[in-house]
Structure 1
Amino acid sequence: MKATEVPEIAGAYLFEPTPHSDERGFFSRTFDADVILSVGLDPCAFVQDSVSRSAKGVVRGLHLRSGAGEAKLVRCSYGRIFDVVVDLRPDSPTYLGRGYFDLSDRTQATLYIPAGCAHGFQALTETADTSYRIDRPHDPAEDVTIAFDDPELAVPWPLPAVSVSQRDREAPSLAEVLKQEES
């Protein structure tokens, strides 16, 4: 497994495994504590695993947590997604930087997203399963959502958004969220 720093988002990493394929299919290590440690992260910090299933064109996000935030490892375990990270940490050297990633079951790559970054994705295949490993238990009171179609962010979603949750559809703009954070 190889760890690569993501230049657009300080502290973010892409973990790329080496799948072993044969006539039966493939086997791939998707989490390796030693590799996580090698980049200065604590593998024991992750306390919750979740999975979502999305149909082609579904957009989920852009989400983050207030307070201490939430770091996560994200992987597309089945299908393919267009993954988006926006750095919203005011003290970060990549503040307001954006990273776009093609995550798929073919590569089984995992993206580490530091706390304080907004995250979202769009399913690019008929079915896309996305796995999350999160560093603190979920608290809905800390949920923050930014409009996925905010013109200031201008996320280049590859497909029309065929389905978006009510929460995501009604989300405020980035400017509104940043103004609320200042108050």
Structure 2
Amino acid sequence: MQVTTTELAGVLVFTPTPHHDDRGFFTRTFDAEIFDATIADLGTAATAGIDITGLTAADFLQDSQSRSGAGVVRGMHGRSGAGEAKLVRCAHGAVDDVIVDIRPDSPTRGQHIHVRLDDVDFRHVLIPPGFLHGFQALTDADVCYRINRPHDPTEDIGVSYLDADLAIEWSLPATVVSPRDAAAGPLSAIW
């Protein structure tokens, strides 16, 4: 498994190695031992001083899955309080995954990155607490989320996927957005 750091300290991309044969393919979508060893090996130097070494595979408590049609936008979502770590992958189809740094003392606060997640490369993205997350389905897509805290709706925060300050360039025109996401305010409202 290859692990890549990103411009947003603490956000990591895990790319497994699928094995293809005449039947199709087989790939390991999660391995606690590899995850824990990777986090321990990285330390704070490889993540620009952001300490994610306390995060372990055992911290992930909930798996969720969503299904979206091409063009659907889900986001931008986050959690207040202690935040939430997510390990996100696309099990079917392809999505443009977007992560926004909202950590108060971060040198990349307010910046975002795009990570393509699909059923070809099988990448996973680790999103530590302190980030907003959203995606746009590029095809019909199933997205799987592994989350480290039980959901508490009182801690939900949302920012408009069209916020001018974020200036996210979405891959396609949005076809469907939930009423909650359509009503979300600007990032400046949560700072």
TM-score range, shorter-chain basis?
A: over 0.9
Is the Cα contact below 8 Å between 1:10 and 1:93 reproduced in 2? Answer: no
168-177 or 33-42, larger mean C-alpha shift: 33-42
Q: Which residue of 2 aligns with 1:87?
A: 101
- Once residues 143 and 24 of structure 2 are traced to their aligned partners in structure 1, the CA distance between those partners, rounded to angstroms, is 20
Q: Equivalent residue for 1:9?
A: 8
1:128 aligns with 2:141: yes
Identity of aligned residues (%): 53
> In the alignment, which residue of structure 2 is the partner of 1:35?
34
Q: TM-score, normalised by structure 2?
A: 0.90
For residue 60 of structure 1, what is the amino acid of its counterpart? R
Equivalent-residue separation in structure 1 for 2:32 and 2:2 (angstroms): 12
1:61 is aligned, of 44, 69, 75, to 75
- Work out whether residues 73 and 132 of structure 1, in 8 Å CA contact, stay in contact via their aligned partners in 2: yes
CA deviations 1:127-157 (Å, max 9, x no partner) are 1000000000001111100000011111110
Q: Secondary structure at the match of 2:188?
A: helix
**Partner amino acid for 1:77?**
A
Runs of 4+ in 1 over 4 A off after TM superposition: none
Aligned partner (choices 158, 169, 182) of residue 145 of structure 1:
158
Matched AA of 1:11: G
Aligned AA (2:14):
F
Alpha-carbon distance between aligned partners in 2 of 1:69 and 1:114, rounded to the nearest angstrom = 8
Letter in 1 for 2:157: V
Using the alignment, how far apart are the partners of 2:95 and 2:103 within structure 1? 25
- Superposed CA offset, 1:76-127 (max 9, x none): 00000000000000122322221101100111110000101000000001x1
Aligned position for 2:45 = none
Structure 1 residues 78-87 or 40-49, which shifts more?
A: 40-49
Moved more, 129-138 or 29-38: 29-38
* Runs of 5+ unmatched residues, structure 1: 179-183
SS of the equivalent of 1:39 reads helix
Q: Return the letter of the residue paired with 2:163.
A: D
Is the Cα–Cα contact under 8 Å of residues 3 and 39 in structure 1 kept in the other structure?
Answer: no
Counterpart CA distance in 2 for 1:97 and 1:153 is 7
- Give 1:177 shift: 1.7
CA distance in 2, matches of 1:61, 1:26: 31
DSSP-derived class of the 2:190 partner: helix
Structure 2: any 5+ residue segments left out of the alignment?
A: 41-54
Q: Aligned pairs, how many?
A: 176
Distance 1:15 1:34 in 2: 13
Normalised TM-score (structure 1)? 0.94
